[in-house]
Structure 1
Amino acid sequence: MPRLMAAALLGLFLVPAARGWRAAGGLRAKSALAARSALEGYSFAQYIRDFSRPYSPGSEEHQRRAAIFEASLAEVHTTNARNAKEGRGWKAGIHPFMDWTLAERRVLNGYKPPRGHRHSQAVALLHEGASAFGRSSMASRLNASFSEEGGLSADMGPALRQQGNCGSCWAISAVEAVEAQLLRSGAPPSTRLSAQALVDCVPNPQHCGGSGGCDGATGELAYAFMRDHGIPLESDLPYTARTSTCPQVPLDGPWHSMRRARVSGWSQLPSNQAEPLKSALVSQGPVVVAVDGNNWFNYDSGVFDSCEKDAILGHAVLAKGYGSDAGRSYWLIQNSWGSDWGENGHIRMLMHDDEEQWCGVDRKPQEGVGCDGGPAEVTVCGMCGILYDPVVPQGVRLEGIDSATDDEGLGSGVAQAEGSDTATAVAGNLDEASPGASAGSGVNAEAQMDALLRNFSNS
């Protein structure tokens, strides 16, 4: 893409924010639910009303979940007291996971439950309420006084999603990055692609980031599949928060005549470097990154700064931009836990002045971005390991849509992000794309697709 065009498209995103996308001064108006940030006197009964839990009073499940909630509430108070004492820049608050067990929460960060594990009623209900939680018109609780320096603001970009009791963060973040590029090319804000197609259909024989589907994969695998087969719109294959049987061979089956989005490849940004990520956010749009989200559950607002240098990268999210608040630089991250978590579904994460020197070790890469046969540990840099594995889709386009007759107004625009000479553009072998796969795992996207097609033909 010519630099002038890229600058013009970027302006389309940044100018509206300057013209009042964010309310002037202070916090946005809060809905009744958002007012829950007043923690004193907040009860389990109020939590049940706020989050539509159907526990029967006096039942064993009610008592068990009440005990979990009370422990979570005590942890929120303890965290806020510690943060105030240590001068940290964020606050904890009420969130949708207050009545979840630790094992249930870990599913959101790539944790793979044992065979036969049954998800609780609380977890199942969270997904059932996804349309209310993930697409709510609840006013943003994002502080309007901070300055956006690069990329998108929290008000802009792809719609929020709620992954529910499924480790599909890798699929959701990959889809949202593509949607963001489609928006840059002129597609309407209502454009939503099917993350379920990736959950159901992406093969993962080398167990990169998990065992596939709701048990985890990587953005690179998602883009290899989107390059070869594309994915349909969400309206054609809605999200279910579970791994289902993939439809017939996508290339020749029902997707062949569907509207679908494809990519020509992806760019792997230099690992553990801040400037290439910042540059990509401005010139190309949101970037899929892997992070350690194990300490994120209680986050409510502010600039999060509580990850240790050593990190286990088990969660994929969408980096949207960066900025500063009261002299503290941060990365702006869109999560996949719904709009009732954090700052309207977002977290602002501290960006150190020496971000590339803020490094530690991931001693369990196989639980996040690593593959079978990969290294036993890897060096990860940046708050929560954000700099280790940034991935950007390339050559995004919509197919099967006639802009002259399309009644949904999706058009047939093509988003072609400007390449970066600091990134590795990938259109084939995953060995060249994933830090976790580069150490001899021999993951090959073409071979995986061939195996997938053979499996379909034999079924």
Structure 2
Amino acid sequence: MWNLICCFFFVAMATTAVATAVSAMTVTSDEDYLAQYTFEKYIADFGKRYADPEEHRKRAAIFKENLAKVRAFNGALGRSYRLGINKFSDMTKEEFNAKFNGRVAAPQSTQSPQRAPYKRTKATFPEALNWQEAKNPVLTPVKDQGSCGSCWAHAATESVESMYAISSGKLLTLSTQQITSCVNNTRKCGGSGGCGGGTAQLAWEYIMNTGGITLDAEYPYVSGETSVTGRCVLNRSMPRVVNVYGYASLPHNDYEAVIEALVQKGPLAVSVAASDWMFYTGGVFDGCGKDGENITISHAVQLVGYGTDNKTNQDYWVVRNSWGEGWGENGFIRLLRKKHNELCVFNNAWNTAGGGCADDPNITIVACGMCGILYDVAYPVVTKPPGRGRFLWAAGTAFGGLCVVMILLVILSRYRGTTPKVYEVFREESETLN
């Protein structure tokens, strides 16, 4: 069964025209500042425009209600994370879930969640790890999927970028648009394909089968602005710079396997329930529900590390999102991490509201970790496709072989008293290789 995701679909409301919103911005969660923050200031800060006065009034009322919720949440005692105002603050929670999630979970199951046994390893691992701090960078800048449900393509591409950087020492920004537009999703695994959702594994299989992925500079990402998948326009002039020749999926809900893979392999592609991340602005997030509660796993992200908060002493996972640098902690979120006692929740419609395929039997899965982060974890195995250097090596070998053949023919012709007619062929071959 496929293991990923439909995605949060960042689509502007049909009655709302959004200008070039300041995606690289989140308003501070400081109470004194928020107490004076107005809708007019919000419009200016985020470049919002609305179709008509009625829509303006509607969004103003929603913003006012959301601002009150943010202030009330931050004002409560014992919070481990904070909320703020961002580009989603003029939407209701229902609109956010319908447009950015697009799936409705089935009724809650009565089955008790079962945690996977933890497999001990002989290796010892550091108390903290963050691939953002690697001496040689392995993470490209945080991207914004925009008005396209391409989280799966971003997570898949980011994982290939990171694994290639670790193995080669070269950090390349690869084409998320190639994955979004060119991957066929006939079985509708994790969604309908393109901006309608997919899976990281589907993306990696596509790269394996088609000879590699090109650079973002060659095939730049535009679906976030157009809101459409777009037809595949990959051509021979676009160099394939990285290939995938396999991928590994970790055992479901295995905490130690995730830690081990993070340390020994690198950043991982993971599936999460992210509907409650809407206004997150910082801290250790623990708001994905209680043990045994039903959630919808419908978003793909990159897991890049783990650590412990110095102030609260809470253990956390470090996750890279694809909602722009203005969301969360510069585009990242820290999720609560519990060693060997992770929260477990349900996803009751894995094939229709999660990462399964449309023709799979509809089953209930048990996903452990905050927001289900431990259930679906995978990483690609990458290599560099045969490039110009390898081509020249092969050409040189053929050239040398041709020389040997010509010499043998010359020697043979002397015995037979004839002149070999191989020069023209040799010259044509030489000109081709040059």
What TM-score results when the alignment is normalised by the length of structure 1? 0.66
Aligned-residue offset at 1:322: 0.3
Task: Pick the aligned partner of 1:243 from 224, 229, 234.
Answer: 229
The answer as to 2:330 corresponding to 1:363 is no
Alpha-carbon separation, structure 1, partners of 2:97 and 2:389: 43
Aligned partner of 1:140 in structure 2 is none
Distance 1:101 1:396, change over 3 A: farther
Aligned partner of 1:385 in structure 2 is 372
Aligned partner of 2:285 in structure 1 is 304
Aligned partner of 2:58 in structure 1 is 64
CA contact (8 A) 1:104 1:165 kept: no
Give % identity: 39
The answer as to 2:313 corresponding to 1:327 is yes
Deviations 1:64-119 (A, max 9, x none): 222221122122123223xx33x231111112211234465336754269xxxxxx
Aligned partner of 2:35 in structure 1 is 40
Alpha-carbon separation, structure 1, partners of 2:144 and 2:133: 16
Alpha-carbon separation, structure 2, partners of 1:111 and 1:99: 18
Higher RCO, 1 vs 2 (CA within 8 Å, ≥6 residues apart): 2
Distance 1:148 1:36, change over 3 A: farther
Residue-pair matches, total: 330
Alpha-carbon separation, structure 2, partners of 1:236 and 1:332: 30
The answer as to 2:45 corresponding to 1:50 is yes
Alpha-carbon separation, structure 1, partners of 2:281 and 2:127: 19
Distance 1:105 1:261, change over 3 A: farther
Task: Pick the aligned partner of 2:201 from 220, 223, 235.
Answer: 220
SS for the counterpart of 1:73 is helix
Aligned partner of 2:215 in structure 1 is 233
Measured on the aligned residues, the alpha-carbon RMSD in Å equals 2.8
The answer as to 2:102 corresponding to 1:111 is yes
CA contact (8 A) 1:208 1:217 kept: yes
Task: Pick the aligned partner of 1:171 from 128, 131, 153.
Answer: 153
Aligned-residue offset at 1:350: 0.1
SS for the counterpart of 1:217 is coil
Structure 1 stretches of at least 4 aligned residues deviating more than 6 Å after TM superposition: none
CA contact (8 A) 1:152 1:321 kept: yes
Output aligned runs, 1:377-416, within 5 Å: 377-397=364-384, 400=387
CA contact (8 A) 1:167 1:214 kept: yes
SS for the counterpart of 1:316 is strand
Alpha-carbon separation, structure 2, partners of 1:291 and 1:349: 11
Aligned partner of 1:314 in structure 2 is 298
Deviations 1:279-316 (A, max 9, x none): 11111111000000010011111000011143210000
Alpha-carbon separation, structure 2, partners of 1:219 and 1:171: 6
Aligned partner of 1:149 in structure 2 is 128
Alpha-carbon separation, structure 2, partners of 1:347 and 1:336: 11
Deviations 1:162-219 (A, max 9, x none): 1111111000011011111222245555x21111111111111221111111111111
Task: Pick the aligned partner of 1:336 from 322, 325, 328.
Answer: 322
Aligned partner of 2:268 in structure 1 is 287
CA contact (8 A) 1:178 1:396 kept: no
Aligned-residue offset at 1:331: 0.3
5+ long unaligned stretches in structure 2: 1-23, 105-125, 391-434
Which amino acid letter does the alignment assign opposite residue 240 of structure 1?
V
5+ long unaligned stretches in structure 1: 1-31, 114-146, 404-459
Aligned partner of 2:340 in structure 1 is 354
Report which of the two structures shows the higher radius of gyration computed on alpha carbons: 2
Alpha-carbon separation, structure 2, partners of 1:374 and 1:187: 43
SS for the counterpart of 1:231 is coil
CA contact (8 A) 2:29 2:85 kept: yes
CA contact (8 A) 2:27 2:86 kept: no
Which amino acid letter does the alignment assign opposite residue 334 of structure 1?
R
Alpha-carbon separation, structure 2, partners of 1:98 and 1:374: 37
SS for the counterpart of 1:360 is strand
CA contact (8 A) 2:255 2:339 kept: no
SS for the counterpart of 1:45 is helix
Output aligned runs, 1:77-88, within 5 Å: 77-81=71-75, 84-85=76-77, 87-88=78-79
Alpha-carbon separation, structure 2, partners of 1:348 and 1:225: 31
Aligned-residue offset at 1:364: 2.0
Alpha-carbon separation, structure 2, partners of 1:319 and 1:94: 25
Aligned-residue offset at 1:327: 1.6
Aligned-residue offset at 1:159: 1.4
Distance 1:67 1:225, change over 3 A: same
Alpha-carbon separation, structure 2, partners of 1:217 and 1:34: 28
Which amino acid letter does the alignment assign opposite residue 390 of structure 1?
V
